[in-house]
Chains A and B, each alone.
Chain A
């Protein structure tokens, strides 16, 4: 029973995503609402993502130092932390934080709009609610998560620099040089590309859960909750697919 429900829901979300590609790029373009959503989804998530990125960089550095010191490899800390943050930790941590903040808020917002008939009201007011509410939010999450991830990466790396300097001395130039010389396009580009997919997953799942919420206020809570759970899970699955794909392409 649970399996068939999950399969049915996966199918429904896929159709919902199909509808996004079918309707989302046709006129009338909701540019103003898209910009507003980019502001809400991107700019207003910045403090949370920034703090998370900072702590991530600092903790990774401080935790790895003793182990690296045992091998006399402290000078490799910038390279190791840099690769870890840019390839994996930055994208995945930012996406999970993003799913928690934005996925739940989209699920709850659309869910409450559904149960209080605001979505119906939009439809009778000459507005396609799918385009106005769903397409704009999904586009905003897809475009904003990569930006947030790059910022989180930058903040995380700077925190790593501070972490190294807590117990040693390294210049910013040497630190940067260590990281940049170790990085290749194969490290950076796939890591950024996969965040577009993470952002899309958060947006489409949050919108789906909210758009089809029912059972009154209880349904709103369920929509918010299941949006976070499902999108977090999908982020991990997509990450697994991404690492397999980059492996096949010889980029790992």
Chain B
């Protein structure tokens, strides 16, 4: 017999009036004739989980790729930890990226490397550790955080979809970032595994006090992880508020996301 389901905790309360760590101001981005973002603006405070909710193809992934500097913006500014991303040279951008984790939708684990090598890769590339002892400790800690210590010498191909997502999160956590950008963290996972990932996102927030920007169209993920929800409609930040506030809205454009 299965145990009774554990009550689902609400997301940790967002710290009021904490400093802003991420500012997206009037950002526009187009691919040819396709205008994806139009004057999109959003702030994220320290220790806060913000979910950007939008339909598939609305430009959510484009938004976070602009934030991490993988795509250049056409107009507007993005400030991460007080630095203008567009104004940084390669070296400065690398330094900034060491403080910003990015969880890819496809996990982007390196197929040719073991789990340990996957985790060590960003650590070594950013010159963040001194000696193998410290490296091992950080790898062990990151894997313990996601509950997959036993997979350390396995190859990504030997892992299930949920485990790969956790390892990808561990690879992000190993840098102990101030901000984590999640690109559709629960897409393609079964409901139980998706719930576990949601739980993990909350645990990371509580344990390390990281700020997160989560891109999603999974309403369970939004409900369980968001301190604040921003609605991306037609390239703009259409509405912002807590999950409860937006759910109670009578505006049809907002309501269609929250209707059962």
Q: Which residues of A contact B (CB under 8 A)?
A: 112-113, 116-118, 120-128
Q: Which of B90, B98, B106, B125 contacts A117 (CB 8 A)?
A: B106
Q: Which of B81-130 contact A (CB under 8 A)?
A: 90, 94, 97-98, 100, 102, 104-111, 121-122, 125-126
Given contacts A125-B121, A127-B121, 15 further A-B contacts (CB under 8 A): A116-B108, A116-B111, A117-B104, A117-B105, A117-B106, A117-B108, A120-B108, A121-B108, A123-B70, A124-B68, A124-B102, A125-B126, A126-B94, A126-B97, A126-B98
Interchain nearest-CB distance for B88 vs A (Å): 13
Q: Which residues of A contact B110 (CB under 8 A)?
A: 113, 118, 121
Looking at B65, B125, B126, the one whose CB has the most chain A CB atoms below 10 A away is B125
Can you list 16 A-B contacts (CB < 8 A)? A112-B111, A113-B111, A116-B106, A117-B104, A117-B105, A118-B109, A118-B111, A120-B104, A123-B70, A124-B70, A125-B121, A125-B122, A126-B126, A127-B121, A127-B125, A128-B90
Q: What's the Cα separation between A117 and B65 when bound, in Å?
A: 11
CB nearest neighbor in B for A118:
B108
Interface residues of B in 9-59 (CB under 8 A from A): none
B residues contacting A by CB (< 8 A) are 65, 68, 70, 90, 94, 97-98, 100, 102, 104-111, 121-122, 125-126
- Cα(A112)–Cα(B122), bound, Å: 20
Interchain nearest-CB distance for A215 vs B (Å) = 15
Interchain CB contact under 8 A, B108 and A126:
no
**Which residues of the partner chain A approach B109 to less than 8 Å between Cβ atoms?**
118
Bound together, the chains give a CA A118 to CA B109 distance in angstroms of 7
